[in-house]
Amino acid sequence: MTENAWIEEGLASDVWGIGKYLEVVSPVEDVRRWKVAVSILEKLGYIAEDSLNDPLLLALTDALQRAEEELARAQDRLERPEGAEVHPRERERIMAMIRRCDALGTATWIVEEATIPNTAAKAATVSQLEELGREASEAFRRYRLECGLPWWAPDGSARRR
């Protein structure tokens, strides 16, 4: 695997939009690095809190939450049972994302088919539901790529992008 393989395969971070590492790391090293990141961000949060700088505290809190999510994903990859395609916790996350996409699609269809006298409100609601559906689909796509799960094309072939 080359240094650029993660970026080429679409495994860049779903929030930052960049590759997570400049070199290939083992699952154990991956967990260690995320633990260090969480620890440092927690300490920086205390400093930001003491400085009464709300924007800095907000940014660090967001980064800490993201690092904790990445740590959980790294631990899932490390603890994945041999031969399993995904860890049970990853499967749970994926299923929740699929249910969200389905629910938003169903809600959009129901509003489109409903008889609502206020056409402007109906159009605005449909537009908002469609936007939420696109965001949910994109989040699912990024997470699927990050987990390395293939996308099944209509012809039955598996694709990694």
pLDDT in tens, 60-119: 888 999 889 888 888 877 777 666 666 677 778 888 888 998 999 999 999 999 888 998
Q: Structure pTM? A: 0.49
What value does the mean pLDDT of the chain take?
77
Position 69 scores a pLDDT of 85
Q: What are phi and psi of 158, to 5 degrees?
A: -95, 140
Q: How far apart are CA 89 and CA 26, in angstroms?
A: 20
Q: How far apart are CA 69 and CA 34, in angstroms?
A: 9
Query: Would you place residue 6 in the very low, low, confident or very high pLDDT band (cuts 50, 70, 90)?
Result: very low
| Beta carbons of 86 and 147 less than 8 angstroms apart | yes
129's CB contacts (< 8 A; 6+ apart) are 104, 107, 108, 111
